[in-house]
Amino acid sequence: MILKIYTIEHPVLRKKAKNVEKIDNNIKKLAEAMFETLKTVDGVGLAAPQVGKSLRMAVISYEDQDLVIINPEIIEKEGEWVDIEGCLSIPGVEIPVKRAQKITVRFQDLNGKTIVMKAEGMWARIFQHEIDHLDGILIVDKIEEDVKV
């Protein structure tokens, strides 16, 4: 099922999302629908608030790898890197955003298994972007002025 992607004016995008308490069939179906939706647009990640669900989960599809992240938290950051980012909830806008170059993130997968993963470069950027969505933060809140990308 293709889901509607909410845009910047929708209040769900500005709320801190709630933890997923139980990974049940509804959560698994939501993840499946989010992947299906993501594959119809030009994006690498989609957070539950972007499809109207105030839940701490997102899907990432990058470099032929699909990942569901549930209740993610960044536990370590290293370095800085400014690069251009876009957002499916702000169509047509691309802006420079400063992010950590390397991160360590902890999350649960669809089986409820806790995973600790190190990510760097584009993977780190995608994780940070999607986790920002779960905290009600959009790229327009992170604009870097007068920087070279």
Catalytic residues: 130
Quote the CA–CA distance of 57 and 109 in Å, as a whole number: 10
Quote the CA–CA distance of 8 and 29 in Å, as a whole number: 25
- Contacts for 22 with CB less than 8 Å, ≥ 6 apart: none
* Cα-based torsion angle of the residue sequence 127, 92, 13, 17 in order, rounded to the nearest 10 degrees: -10
Residues 40 and 2: beta-carbon distance below 8 Å: yes
